[in-house]
Amino acid sequence: MPRYRQTTVGDLKNQAVQRRKITDTKRTADPATMEVLCGELPEGNTTVFDRYASQQPQCSFGLTGVCCRNCIQGPCRITPKNDKGICGAADYTIVARNVARLIAGGTSCHSTHGYHIAETVLKVVDGKTSDYSIKDPEKLHAVCKRLGVSTEGKNDEELAREVTLLAFEDFGGHREEPCRWLDTTITQGRREKFRNCNIAPTSIDRTVVGMLDQTAMGQDSDPVNIIFGGLKTALCDYTGMHIATDLQDILFGTPYPVATEANLGVIDADYVNIATHGHNPTLSEMIVEAALQLKGEAEAAGAKGVKVVGICCTGNELIMRQGVALAANKASQEMAVLTGAVDAMIVDVQCIMPATKALAECFHTQFITTASQVKIPGAQHFDFREEDALETAKTMVRMGIEAYGKRKPELIRIPDVKHAAVAGWSTEALMKLFAGVEPEEPVKALNDAILAGELSGVALFAGCNNLRVTQDESHLSIVKELLKENVLVVATGCSAGAFAKAGLLTPGAYREYGGEGLQRFLDRVHEASPTSTGLPAVFHQGSCVDNTRAADLMVAMAEQLGVDTPKVPFVASAPEAMHEKAVSIGSWCVALGMPVHVGVMPPVEGSPLVYSIVTQVAHDVYGGHFILESDAELAAKQLLDALEYRRWKLDVHRATAEKYDADPAASW
Ligand code: NFS
Ligand code: SF4
């Protein structure tokens, strides 16, 4: 029987791994980024890679999570000599509190994003802006159905208003019942589990505030209770981002396959290049529209037109819906500026390094901020409002057109590296693909392939770039291992960016990277439901805020199989988790029952107790657990083992249920 978890409780990693010498480390696996890095930097400047090196060695109290700064008697640090903080907080309390606060931070980002989209929808239906409209009434109706909103005799605007008001209740309402976007999108088994464990949130805002309260000085010191509070908060992250994805699909359209390109080579010296960076599509969708409308002005300035390229998750939003080319993921954002051919970088929220602005100053690049909560000293700021979105977007694009004339030709060096990519694999798009084989119940095509042993399961690759490791390298090596072993891979965020940049999203790439079973399966479904784009090796599901698309897929699989989610052969991996958002996503994935690999050690090593809760006890309670493994080869093996264990158990439980004409066992 394969093992589903590490057996070495408390056998913590050698901390030396965390502090490997930067000189021993290859910085990036991305040839385009490497090429730019090898060139000259403007005098006095650094890149994220240099600053990571300068920060070494980093403090081991912080690295292992045993530094508490939750009151101003601190900082208190746990050492062999001092096993308690001034107030008496032990390592397990401090580590648990720190992790829970990371989750609260991540949840705040995603839910603020979702809230902003909800406000935009309301402005649209109230007629306060004419720049947006309801592009996907079909999705609107599907969401209404799920939420139990009657559609009889109501037009799209009325329905959208009703849905949005329900979303506001999930954010800040006072109700006894769990948040609707959580409760209506999970299995019955999870609903009961979350209620029984008292981690089903009733309001996002209330829960995040409650988490800050719970983890303040002199409050909760029970690590299990704190971690459960953290999971409740993480389920708010899920709720907020599910709202964001649903409403974005309603407003901008549910993504379907679209062909494009990725990596720095998409920046084209003949065009005015506008890089959009951040996360929120309300801005970038308008930039795309403005770029189209201002083609003539760009031509008058001597360019062939305006080319919009994406960075980080704004890039992921645009690649999904508009087929806009993706230039860079997080660790390469400065490299885009260093090409010398980005005329304006327009940013909204999250993952925008202040250093990118500093670097832009050495070039002609206009750096423009647009969100009231994200201002960067020295950057041009526009107060972006939906009411006059297109006009503001045009003003910003015009700044890029003007800057185009001020380029310094001697500084232009665009790596000749780019790959064709097919993105746009929302869960709806995947179901459409599977429907060719199983028109009545599309997900059955996927489950049947797993039950037949053709596929070994499904993996979600998510998360960031983290400077502690070689950029993109473990994303690529782990995924290649899994593809070879016939795992169907979906991806989001900077992980999807890494795959796009490296050619794993290229049409037909599954032939190069997939095992025989995966190739056979994809050939079959594609033949039955052909696309004009062809199929990639990895299916891009969007930005980080879109991670619930993968959860929806897992829930659909569970329901078709007649089991709860912890039994589904479905795993997740964040090889380079970095942001607080990644911590919250990983945590709700665990609560939903996924084995979740994290390739950089989160700050939990300082407490063997917390370490064992997240890697082992979590499994007993929720069926999901963290696999904390920095070695890519071992990580791939553990993910494959977890899938094998689940397939084995599923087979046993299904065979037994059939024999005794009963439901499959509820345990995992
Ligand atoms: Ni996700 Fe996307 Fe990237 Fe990480 Fe940042 S851009 S939201 S947080 S770094 S994947
Ligand atoms: Fe120290 Fe306790 Fe204050 Fe934390 S809350 S800084 S452990 S006294």
The sign of the CA dihedral 652, 653, 657, 658 is negative
d(CA 298, CA 312): 25
Placement of tokens 């979600």 in the chain: 460
Residue of the CA atom closest to atom 2 of ligand 2: 87
Per-residue pLDDT tens over the stretch 354-378: 999 999 999 999 999 999 999 999 9
Amino acid at 422: V
CA 490 to mean position of chain CA atoms: 11
Per-residue pLDDT tens over the stretch 596-635: 999 999 999 999 999 999 999 999 999 999 999 999 999 9
Establish whether residue 217 lines the binding site of ligand 2, counting it when its CB lies within 6 angstroms of any ligand atom. yes
Query: What is the domain class of 264-411 according to CATH?
Result: alpha beta
d(CA 260, CA 307): 13
Contact between residue 96 and residue 65 where contact means Cβ atoms under 8 Å apart: no
Which of helix, strand or coil describes residue 109? helix
Taking the CA of residue 71 as reference, the ligand 2 atom at the shortest distance is 3
Pocket test for ligand 2, best of 66, 73, 78 (most atoms within 8 A of CB): 73
d(CA 464, CA 206): 28
Establish whether residue 74 lines the binding site of ligand 2, counting it when its CB lies within 6 angstroms of any ligand atom. yes
Residue 228 CA, ligand 2 centroid: distance in Å: 21
d(CA 475, CA 496): 9
pLDDT, average across residues 422-426: 98
Q: What is the mean pLDDT of the chain?
A: 95
Q: Quick one: pLDDT at residue 667? A: 84
Contact between residue 470 and residue 27 where contact means Cβ atoms under 8 Å apart: yes
pLDDT, average across residues 383-402: 97
Contact between residue 424 and residue 541 where contact means Cβ atoms under 8 Å apart: no
d(CA 318, CA 478): 26
Q: For the sheet with 306-311, list strands across it.
A: 380-381, 366-369, 344-347, 272-278, 306-311, 325-328, 258-262, 419-423
Q: Quick one: pLDDT at residue 23? A: 53
Pocket test for ligand 1, best of 280, 284, 313 (most atoms within 8 A of CB): 313
Establish whether residue 493 lines the binding site of ligand 1, counting it when its CB lies within 6 angstroms of any ligand atom. yes
Per-residue pLDDT tens over the stretch 193-224: 999 999 999 999 999 999 999 999 999 999 99
The DSSP bridge partners found for residue 345 are 275, 367
In terms of DSSP H, where are the helices of 294-426? Answer: 295-300, 312-321, 333-338, 354-360, 389-404
Question: Mapped to the 3 state alphabet, what secondary structure does 147-188 carry?
Answer: HCCCCCCCCHHHHHHHHHHHHHHHHHCCCCCCCHHHHCCCCH
Q: Quick one: pLDDT at residue 157? A: 98
Establish whether residue 313 lines the binding site of ligand 1, counting it when its CB lies within 6 angstroms of any ligand atom. yes
Taking the CA of residue 313 as reference, the ligand 1 atom at the shortest distance is 2
Residue 575 CA, ligand 1 centroid: distance in Å: 12
Residue 544 clears pLDDT 70, i.e. is over it? yes
Q: Quick one: pLDDT at residue 446? A: 98
Closest ligand to the CA of 494: 1
DSSP states along 514-527: S-HHHHHHHHHHHH
Domain positions in the chain: 91-252, 264-411, 419-657
Closest ligand to the CA of 277: 1
Q: Quick one: pLDDT at residue 18? A: 44
pTM of the model: 0.96
d(CA 585, CA 241): 10
Closest ligand to the CA of 78: 2
Which structure tokens are listed for 74? Answer: 């601190």
Residue 25 clears pLDDT 70, i.e. is over it? no
Which of helix, strand or coil describes residue 574? strand
Establish whether residue 68 lines the binding site of ligand 2, counting it when its CB lies within 6 angstroms of any ligand atom. yes
Pocket test for ligand 1, best of 326, 349, 464 (most atoms within 8 A of CB): 464
pLDDT, average across residues 626-649: 97
d(CA 144, CA 140): 6
Which has the closest alpha carbon to 628: 575, 563, 591?
Answer: 575
Residue 76 CA, ligand 2 centroid: distance in Å: 6
Residue 42 clears pLDDT 70, i.e. is over it? yes
Which structure tokens are listed for 365? Answer: 């690049």
Per-residue pLDDT tens over the stretch 130-150: 999 999 999 999 999 999 999
Query: What is the domain class of 419-657 according to CATH?
Result: alpha beta
Residue 17 clears pLDDT 90, i.e. is over it? no
Residue 107 CA, ligand 1 centroid: distance in Å: 13
d(CA 522, CA 531): 12
Establish whether residue 556 lines the binding site of ligand 2, counting it when its CB lies within 6 angstroms of any ligand atom. no
Which has the closest alpha carbon to 102: 211, 261, 216, 241?
Answer: 211
Establish whether residue 70 lines the binding site of ligand 2, counting it when its CB lies within 6 angstroms of any ligand atom. yes
- Surface-to-core class of residue 305, CB atoms within 10 Å of its CB (0-12 exposed, 13-18 middle, 19+ buried): middle
Q: Quick one: pLDDT at residue 668? A: 87
Closest ligand to the CA of 350: 1
d(CA 590, CA 272): 44
Intrachain domains 91-252 and 419-657 with the same fold? no
CA 368 to mean position of chain CA atoms: 24
Residue 147 CA, ligand 1 centroid: distance in Å: 29
Which structure tokens are listed for 371? Answer: 């969100």
CATH no., domain 91-252: 1.20.1270.30
DSSP states along 194-263: HHHTT---S-HHHHHHHHHHHTSTTS---HHHHHHHHHHHHHHHHHHHHHHHHHHHHHH-----EEEEES
Per-residue pLDDT tens over the stretch 286-343: 999 999 999 999 999 999 999 999 999 999 999 999 999 999 999 999 999 999 999 9
Per-residue pLDDT tens over the stretch 274-283: 999 999 999 9
Contact between residue 635 and residue 478 where contact means Cβ atoms under 8 Å apart: yes
Which structure tokens are listed for 150? Answer: 């009657």
Angle between helices 443-451 and 548-561 (to 10 degrees): 70
d(CA 542, CA 580): 18
Per-residue pLDDT tens over the stretch 457-501: 999 999 999 999 999 999 999 999 999 999 999 999 999 999 999
Cα within 13 Å of Cα(56), Cβ side: 17
d(CA 548, CA 570): 14
Candidate from 22-26, 113-117, 578-582 with smallest mean pLDDT = 22-26
Candidate from 9-23, 439-453, 523-537 with smallest mean pLDDT = 9-23
Residue 313 CA, ligand 1 centroid: distance in Å: 6
Residue 36 CA, ligand 2 centroid: distance in Å: 45
